[in-house]
Amino acid sequence: MTARVGVIDYGCGNLKSVANAVRYVGAEPKLVTAPYQINQHSHIILPGVGAFGAASETLRNTGFEEALQQLHAEAQVPILGICLGMQLMCSYSEEGGKYEGFGWFDAQVIPIDVGTSALKVPHMGWNSLSIQRETEFEGLHGLTEKSDVYFLHSYCVNCSDSSDIVATTTHGSEFTSVFSKGIIWGVQFHPEKSQITGLNFLKAFTRIGQD
């Protein structure tokens, strides 16, 4: 059966590349423009670019957060957060103040700390993953220490519960670049922009529960 992948559209920027990549790996993408449509999909992707505060407020005001919380509580549909989407799954973010996230992961979103190095923020470009654990799903298929993935962010995830961490990346300091808890996944990098590594990851995600 073809996976029907709902991509949450809450006005957070361009979702076309995510939809294109989902289609490319053989699943059927559909933009979810209203909370009531959230139950019509086998998988959900929560993308996002921009500021945490504005995004979380929009999700709350539009009813998307309530719908996502319900979906999360039912624990039937795999959910993937990409970039800001991953950060929204955390307890809170320090970006532009202190804003509450969904609280699905015991983690904080903090500024990238490059210390006194000459490294630049935003962390933009191709960087590597340091794999911390295997997972029960094939979600890690294609994610290896050797293949770089594409990042673009100024804030990063710091997990309090190390068992949630799937992979870390270092830019000045080490941060969580992939986390998962059961069928809930978050990636700081952009799988839709990470060539074959990213496409393999998306393919594996859209196959969760399909076989």
Partner 1 sequence: MLSKRIIACLDVRDGKLVKSVQFVDTKEVGDPVAAARSYYEDGIDELVFYDITASSDRRDIMIDVVSEVASQVFIPFSVGGGLRSVEDCGRVLAAGAEKVNLNTAAVENPELITEVSEAFGAQAVVLSMDVRKNDALAVLTSGYEIVTHGGRKPTGMDAVKWAIRGEKLGAGELVVNAIDTDGMREGYELILTRIISDSVSIPVIASGGGGHPEHLDEAFTLGGADAALVASMLHYGDYSVHDIKSYLDELGLPVRLT
Do residues 106 and 69 lie in contact, with contact meaning Cβ atoms separated by under 8 Å?
A: no
Number of residues lying near partner 1 (CB under 8 A): 33
Looking at this protein, which amino acid is placed at residue 116? T
The catalytic residue among 12, 83, 156, 159 is: 83
Contacting residues for 63 by C-beta, under 8 A, at least 6 apart: 35
Please choose, out of 19-27, 54-62, 71-79, 86-94, the segment that lies near partner 1 by the rule CB under 8 A. Answer: 19-27
Among 54, 110, 131, 199, binds partner 1 (CB under 8 A): 199
209 binds partner 1 (CB under 8 A): no
85 binds partner 1 (CB under 8 A): no
Among 194, 201, 203, 204, binds partner 1 (CB under 8 A): 194
Do residues 173 and 115 lie in contact, with contact meaning Cβ atoms separated by under 8 Å?
A: yes
Please choose, out of 88-96, 115-123, 130-138, 175-183, the segment that lies near partner 1 by the rule CB under 8 A. Answer: 115-123
* CA 81 – CA 124 distance, rounded (Å): 18
Please choose, out of 12-20, 34-42, 62-70, 177-185, the segment that lies near partner 1 by the rule CB under 8 A. Answer: 12-20
Do residues 193 and 127 lie in contact, with contact meaning Cβ atoms separated by under 8 Å?
A: no
Strands, E assignment, 48-172: 79-82, 92-93, 99-100, 107-111, 123-127, 130-131, 149-153, 155-159, 165-171
Of the candidates 31, 93, 34, 91, the one whose C-alpha atom is nearest the C-alpha of residue 59 is: 34
Among 31, 34, 75, 124, binds partner 1 (CB under 8 A): 124
Do residues 167 and 177 lie in contact, with contact meaning Cβ atoms separated by under 8 Å?
A: yes
58 binds partner 1 (CB under 8 A): no
74 belongs to the catalytic site: no
Residues marked active site are found at: 83, 190, 192
Q: What does the binding site for partner 1 look like in residue numbers (CB under 8 A)? A: 13-14, 16-17, 20-21, 23-24, 49-50, 119-120, 122-128, 146-148, 150, 152, 170-171, 192-196, 198-199
